[in-house]
A and B are shown apart, each in its own frame.
Chain A
Amino acid sequence: MNNIYIKNILRFVVLVLLQVLVFNNIHFRGYINPYVYVMFILLLPFETPPWLLLISSFSIGFFVDLYTDTMGMHAAASVFMAFFRPSVLRMISSTRDYELGLSPGIKDLGFNWFFNYSLILVLIHHTVYFYLEVFTFHEFFYTFWRVIFSSIFTLLFIIIGQYIFYKKK
């Protein structure tokens, strides 16, 4: 049990640092910016109590905000994403039941399941974040393309991360 807590706290710290020191320096074509830290919310164990899910999502967003001068925007987007996580989990059926001890990842539930699960949640997060960032629907389609392309890159990095750190045994 303790092991899970330590693992997630460690993941929290590592992802915040990775996000602010590495991924925030990646700008494909100048305006596509992946937000890989949402992987923390995706990978929280199934048995995480709902309140902890919301609070921990808020805090990871808040820490990223502190470093990127976007006070509250990442926090709002992360909480929004976390709020939808239980519904998305219920929506996507898996070949295996969500048993105790299973973690949401490619290793336990397969590529297809993980891809759909991440795709929906990453899109929710990025949509909220990018529209909050510009705070206007003025340039609706410009922001829309930023959401789409950034989501693609975020997903790419999350899936690469899955294959690097959680290899099938």
Chain B
Amino acid sequence: MRQLFVFLLKYYFFFLFLLLEIIAFILIANNFNYQGARVLNTANELTGKTYQTYNNIFDYFNLKENNKILAEENARLHAMIEQSYVKFSNNEIFVNDTTYKLQYKYIDAKIISNSTGKRNNYMMLNKGFNQGIRNNMAVVSPNGIVGIVSGVSANFSSVMSLLHSEIKISAKLKKNNASGTIAWEGGDYKRGALIDIPSHIKIRTGDTVITSGFSLDFPEGIMIGTIANYKLNPGDNFFKIKINYSTDFNKLDYVYVIKNLFKDEQLKLKESQHE
């Protein structure tokens, strides 16, 4: 026993090093749970507060840019409302109140920390459970899609950005509805990959890619980006397509979190099919 003690004392530097590394790896392992979803804890409330304070100071510097983005979005929305359309036909359709039902609710939030430089990027929002945000909700910016909520604490939430190795988002080409999947292969934060588009589909650079609406979280038709380049290796059944994201992940500030009001119902139906 004494000898063991002497031995440990002699090489304590090495054993302490080992102990600390083990602690660090336990921390890492705890954080790598299923689907990369993380549970925010009290410590995240603390760091959230620090980022919030920092943001309160630096918010003013981006006001001009944010105003511009909001004005552009307003213009786009104005163009979509009824008054902007001219009626060419008199065959009016009777619209029953119950025909349309609100399916998606938008919650606005501000990004208080963000990264684009890692292989797996996350951001933090200044709203959480108390403000109605739940796991797996879709996050979009005025310019396009941003990511998926991956962790929620009382007042903050963390978002798995589109710049993440595990993100897969169902997408389609706007012009012919051919559907594929969006993924990120690392590197440039402005570029993503569109996979699973079969080789018989006709595509061109500049084609618009939007969300397909097949997932339970994203509404149909949200802008993702445009095709930057594509190639078809001989013998392959699918294109290799690179897209330019319409969202500039480095300049994100304000985003919307989308709540699907029918999600529970859709989920139940889906589960009953699997049984």
Contacts and interface: CB of A to CB of B under 8 A. Distances in A.
B114 to A, nearest CB: 8
Interface stretch (A109-117, A130-138, A155-163): A130-138
Contact of A67 (B28, B50, B188): B50
B71 interface: no
Interface stretch (A3-11, A71-79, A91-99): A71-79
Interface in B38-55: 38, 43-44, 46-47, 50-51, 54
Contact of B189 (A31, A68, A79, A82): A31
11 contacts: A27-B250, A31-B118, A33-B118, A54-B16, A54-B17, A66-B43, A66-B46, A67-B50, A71-B30, A79-B24, A86-B13
A134 B188 CA distance: 16
B21 A80 contact: yes
Given A51-B12, A80-B21, A71 B27 contact: yes
Contacts of A65: 27
B206 interface: no
B119 interface: yes
Contacts of B113: 67
B20 A58 contact: yes
Contacts of A135: 32
A30 B21 contact: no
Contacts of A83: 13-14, 17
B117 to A, nearest CB: 4
Contacts of B250: 27, 30
A135 B173 CA distance: 33
Contact of A54 (B13, B27, B54): B13
A165 interface: no
Interface of B: 12-14, 16-17, 20-21, 23-32, 38, 43-44, 46-47, 50-51, 54, 113, 115-120, 122, 124, 158, 165, 186-190, 250
Contact of B25 (A20, A29, A32, A76): A76
A61 interface: yes
A72 B28 contact: yes
Nearest to B31: A71
The 9 closest A-B pairs by CB, nearest first: A72-B27, A76-B24, A72-B28, A71-B31, A33-B117, A27-B117, A75-B24, A30-B189, A72-B24
Contacts of A54: 13, 16-17, 20
Nearest to B188: A30
B17 A79 contact: yes
B186 A79 contact: no
B189 A67 contact: no
A101 interface: no
Contact of A76 (B21, B32, B158): B21
